[in-house]
Amino acid sequence: MVGGPPLRAVPAPPLTDAKANHVSALSYLDSIILGIVEGVTEYLPVSSTGHLTIAEKMLGLPIDDPAITSFTAVIQLGAILATLIYFWGKIKAMFLAWVAGLRDPKARERQDYSLAWAVIVGSIPVVVAALLFKDLIKGPLRSLWVVAGALILWSIVIWAGERYHARLVAAGQDRPEGSRVTVKDGVIIGLMQCFSLVPGVSRSGTTITAGLFRGLDRVTATELSFFMAIPALVGAGLYELKDVNTSVVGLGQLAVGTIVSFVVAYASIAWLLKFVKNNSLMFFVSWRVLVGAAVLVALAAGWMSAT
């Protein structure tokens, strides 16, 4: 053939194969956008992991790349810091009541003592499940088909929780606002939280909904969801630190994403507590279905790939 063999396109190297020159393949703009998405969605019952996965895909990032999944897990620490600062008074009271209860049987009658134990025991199931199914979570479940399906299907559970809670209220069988949270509540809500390991389900969506099924008012269920996020997300963030690849995600980008996540999450916490005081979760159900349906259409039309 004249001119030699035909030219073939050379595939771009994986993101993790970027030269180790500490020039990040993830830009500062990417880190800001992902920090905003994390901060807004971490505590809303819409799935932060699902929305981050969609945002990463729209930014052209490989959603199954270990460096990117580690980045999104680490910036969650910003959202956790926002929780610690916002609820510092209550967290301190819980810790002191728990310590006192370990020594003094009378102190165990305090509401903060049982609340502390509910958070502790409720955090165990998701940690165990995350370790047992980590390969599945980081592998096959990192698909936009899974995210879209989970967004829609778990909306049915949230809707059912709202309907059930409304019937309890109408029958006068719900628990008064600020009622004592028991260890049994913690176990049941903690088991439900395991479903949040599926991208698109939502950690806060599982815990708040479980609280509604238990007859808790929305504010108490939402605050309990915040408290149960602390051990789960701190553990996930610290565990993923080992997989951070600074040749792909620079320390500067990681810091920016975490800081943005903190600022936005703090505002999101304040807003959500005010919202659930007088509103149901049905707005979030509609949002989840809308986003899930949009992703399904985009996947079916071939406008984006699932991984």
The predicted pLDDT at position 145 comes to: 95
- Does residue 37 surpass a pLDDT of 50? yes
Whole-number Cα distances in Å, 3 to 6, 7, 146: 8, 10, 47
Classify the phi-psi angles of 25: left when phi > 0, otherwise alpha if psi is within -120 to 50, otherwise beta: alpha
The predicted pLDDT at position 2 comes to: 44
Q: Which two tokens stand for residue 219?
A: 């504010």
- Does residue 262 surpass a pLDDT of 80? yes
CB 162 within 8 A of CB 282: yes
Q: Read off the pLDDT band of 306 (50, 70, 90).
A: confident
**Residue-wise pLDDT tens digits, 139-191:** 788 899 999 999 999 999 999 999 999 999 999 888 887 788 999 999 999 99
Q: What is the arithmetic mean of pLDDT over 266-274?
A: 96
Which amino acid, 118? A
**Mean pLDDT rounded to a whole number for the chain:** 87
- Cα–Cα distance between 270 and 172 in angstroms, integer? 29
Q: What is the arithmetic mean of pLDDT over 112-134?
A: 92
The predicted pLDDT at position 18 comes to: 40
The predicted pLDDT at position 6 comes to: 47
Among candidate residues 167, 273, 178, 270, the one with its CA nearest the CA of residue 216:
178
- Does residue 237 surpass a pLDDT of 80? no
Q: What is the 3-state secondary structure (H, E, C) of the chain?
A: CCCCCCCCCCCCCCHHHCCCCCCCCCCHHHHHHHHHHHHHHCCCCCCHHHHHHHHHHHCCCCCCCHHHHHHHHHCHHHHHHHHHHHCHHHHHHHHHHHHHHHHCHHHHHCHHHHHHHHHHHHHHHHHHHHHHCHHHHHCCCCCHHHHHHHHHHHHHHHHHHHHHHHHHHHCCCCCCCCCCCCHHHHHHHHHHHHHHHCCCCCHHHHHHHHHHHCCCCHHHHHHHHHHHHHHHHHHHHHHHHHHCCCCCCCHHHHHHHHHHHHHHHHHHHHHHHHHHHHCCCHHHHHHHHHHHHHHHHHHHCCCCCCC
